[in-house]
Amino acid sequence: MSTPALTTLSQDEIAFKEAVAGFFKDAVGPLVSKMDHEQKLDPDMIKSLFEMGLMGIEIPESYGGAGGSFFLACLVVEEAAAVDPSVAVLIDVQNTLVLNAIKKWGSEPQKSKYLPRLAKDMVGAYALSESGSGSDAFALRCKAERRGEDWILTGNKLWITSANEAGLFIVFANTDFEKGHRGITAFLVDRDSAGFTVGKKEDKLGIRASSTCELVLDGVRVPAANVLGPVGKGYKVAIETLNEGRIGIGAQMVGLARGALAAGVKYAQTREQFGKPIMHFQAIQHQLAQAAVEVEAAKLMVYNAARLKDAGKPFLKEAAMAKLFSSQVAGRVASTMVDIHGGNGFTTEYPAEKFFRDSKIGAIYEGTSNMQLSTIAKMLGAG
């Protein structure tokens, strides 16, 4: 008997995917333009995400979560991005980064304290990047000093997704700069900690409703009980979590490309030129067909990487490939759909321009395209 493809969806997964797609279309769709214009996620919408169980998909039921798989989380991210990539990244960071890090590296007291809240009403954020440490993530300068039973964190973080909404931050700081990356440690930092401030919110090209902010840590006291994983092993927490998170970004880009393509098809079916819908012109048909092929290929790559992760099999190369290719596809497809909309594609009246703006970040965050190419090359034996 042949082995089912890793990309095959079960009937339960199909039903789940359709249900969440309906939710995003009905509950999020009407809010997209307003949230993008105001550069802020609707608080009631975020509350609905928690009520639907979409912010704690992989949290075990014993902690109040949905007890789902990583693959299911990726399906949710995909469906959210087909409507609004800003909402998708909120769900993505929560599930593929924050929850996965705590599930894998957290102590039982940490899990008991934070997982129920993260499932119910608390947004989490992942604070690794700094002004001088982007692709070179371990060049971070945020400092952690031991003071008795506590740690004192001092420094700044930049480009932190969901910072405005988050109540919990996984902050990476160096406890011993002489040890280089082996001094990096992960800390669970509560938003209301003294000396902790969410600073400037970036005014961005795309995913504008998603908050991206600076964090200021001015002598923040963190109890030793809030060290996530062993001291000095923060680099492993970061690497292993980001490897998984890249699959989530791939899912976001697939959803975005699907949403852009759907908008292009709808427009081509209704826009008339020379006495007939432009969908009847072969040039338009071929552009849409090519886009559909690329979206399907990207989707299968993302699904494969997610299935491998859930199966406990090696997935690093597949995750890098999925993230790289899906972000490329999202950029190409979104750009093509602007072209198909013509002048209307350059206005905010139609969704094409927003998908186009939102697509660019896929090639940047959670590992740039160049970093993905380097990872793939290494896996091929290049160094």
Q: How many CB atoms lie within 10 A of CB 2?
A: 4
In the prediction, which pLDDT does 1 show? 40
4 pLDDT more than 60: no
Nearest to 143 by CA among 175, 97, 181: 175
Angle between helices 234-270 and 282-310 (to 10 degrees): 150
Name residue 214's amino acid: E
The CATH H-level superfamily of 125-232 is: Butyryl-CoA Dehydrogenase, subunit A, domain 2 (2.40.110.10)
Q: Which residues are catalytic?
A: 366
Domain boundaries along the sequence of the chain: 11-123, 125-232, 236-379
Query: In the beta sheet, which residues pair with residue 331?
Result: none
d(CA 119, CA 8) in angstroms, rounded, equals 28
Q: Mean pLDDT, the chain, as a whole number?
A: 96
Overall fold of domain 236-379:
Butyryl-CoA Dehydrogenase, subunit A; domain 3 (1.20.140)
Residues 75-126 have pLDDT tens digits of: 999 999 999 999 999 999 999 999 999 999 999 999 999 999 999 999 999 9
The gap from C-alpha 179 to its chain's centroid, in whole angstroms, comes to 31
What CATH number has the domain spanning 11-123? 1.10.540.10
Q: What is the pLDDT of residue 5?
A: 56
The percentage of the chain sitting over the pLDDT mark of 70, rounded to a whole number, equals 98
pLDDT tens digits, residue range 244-302?
999 999 999 999 999 999 999 999 999 999 999 999 999 999 999 999 999 999 999 99
CA 289/CA 261 separation, integer angstroms = 10
pLDDT beyond 50 at 324: yes
pTM here is 0.96
- The pLDDT confidence band at residue 3, using thresholds 50, 70 and 90, is very low
pLDDT, residue 382, reads 82
Tens-digit pLDDT profile for residues 330-368 = 999 999 999 999 999 999 999 999 999 999 999 999 999
96 touches 73 (CB < 8 A) = yes
